[in-house]
Amino acid sequence: MSKLILITGGAGFIGSHLADELLGRGHRVRVLDALVSQVHGEDAVRPAYLHPDVELRVGDVLDPRAVDEALVGVDAVYHLAAMVGVGQSMYRISDYTAVNNEGTAVLLEALSRRPVGRLVVASSMSIYGEGLYRPPSGPLVPGRLRTLDRLKARRWELADHDGRPLVPVATPESKPPELASVYALSKFDQERLCLIVGQAYGIPAVALRFFNVYGPRQALSNPYTGVLAIFASRLLNGLPPPVFEDGLQRRDFVNVRDVARACALALEAPRAAGRVINIGSGRHQTIRGVAERLASVLGRPHIGPEITQRHRAGDIRHCFADISLARELLGFSPKVEFDAGLADLASWLEGRITPDRAEEAGRELAERGLTV
């Protein structure tokens, strides 16, 4: 049965792919998006990649009137509108808290007056902080944030009380949150607000914790989010991608097309209501290895990553997804292999000219004492 579905932040990277997926399943799609300059450029207009059948309403999720009007006749909501990026959140604290926390509150107040059949909120793996680890002996343990002394000594890996290394393992939803950045805190607030208010007003709500999403349409001009987009911007300008620490930290890179499909599955899955669910690839890559593979795919294998041996405030060492629950509750299995996804990204990047703002962002963080 066709539904009218609202996507907040739907003109962006993930939202536009989700719109394609929903349209392909026979639904109608309305988007509320502020078209912010950091993502869409200074002279922001409707993105060319946004499907022509999408009804775009330019408006701010912080504007109660815009949100109310966008909800008229809507059957379900995907809440993707957010400021994104760990590093920037550590100094634009008010902006991140306003958009992510207050913006969600504005939406939920409107939904309390206009309940819908399903609310899906985009959450983040950043909530976990460090992932789950296996000690030399005994049960699995949650990773704890590294001390400043260890970071200054360039002792990047986590260890037990006796100094023995801990081995990272896939992180399930049961791992307690360890909120290491303002961004992580705001995403945790977003998911809890949606689940609490959803339960109170009879709105089946689902929080999807996205891991490192990559693919076409990622904002190349934003130096604070999407490590592959940041690396691509540098490589396209003939410059080495900056890699924090030693580059051996592990992440789970999941293709945006898989993420869009997972979101669509969450619309109907009855047992997903009230749950928090990881959305990742179920595999992990080192950041250094990803930089090298992207350089090769873009035809620039001679440009190696710049290993900074520095730590950025809010960053963690290892975290990658256990996606057992997504398989069980959503019937989700990732389909896009990483190399195929990189090739698709490279094809989209071909011929693009993009400003490189990574050095500017790095200076901003350093001047504020947010790197060690």
**pLDDT digit string, tens, across residues 68-84:** 999 999 999 999 999 99
- Looking up residue 17, the CATH number of its domain turns out to be 3.40.50.720
User: Does 190 reside within a domain?
Assistant: yes
Average pLDDT, the chain: 93
What's the average model confidence in pLDDT over 23-34?
98
When mean pLDDT is compared over 35-39, 218-222, 358-362, the highest value belongs to 35-39
User: Does 117 reside within a domain?
Assistant: yes
pLDDT at position 212 over 80: yes
Closest CA to 69 of 6, 3, 2: 6
DSSP secondary structure string for all residues of 214-232: E-TT--TT-TTS-HHHHHH
User: Does 372 reside within a domain?
Assistant: no
Take residue 10 and report the two structure tokens written for it.
């739907």
* Domain region containing 281: 4-367
User: Does 27 reside within a domain?
Assistant: yes
- Residue 199: band (very low, low, confident or very high) from pLDDT cuts 50, 70, 90: very high
* Per-residue pLDDT reduced to its tens digit, 246-257: 999 999 999 999
What is the pTM for the complete model shown?
0.94
pLDDT at position 223 over 80: no
Residue type, 200: A
Take residue 73 and report the two structure tokens written for it.
């006749």
The strand pair at 285-286 and 132-134 is best described as: unpaired
Spatial separation of the C-alpha atoms in residues 97 and 89, rounded to whole Å: 9
What's the average model confidence in pLDDT over 177-206?
97
> What total number of domains does the chain contain?
1
pLDDT at position 219 over 90: no
What's the average model confidence in pLDDT over 137-161?
92
* Per-residue pLDDT reduced to its tens digit, 31-48: 999 999 888 877 778 999
CA 303, 307, 313, 316 dihedral sign is positive
pLDDT at position 177 over 80: yes
Q: Say if residues 7 and 75 touch (Cβ distance below 8 Å).
A: no
Residue with the bigger pLDDT between 113 and 39: it is: 113
**96 carries an active-site annotation:** no
State residue 361's pLDDT score: 65
Active-site choice (96, 128, 133, 183): 183
Q: Say if residues 234 and 241 touch (Cβ distance below 8 Å).
A: yes
pLDDT at position 220 over 80: no
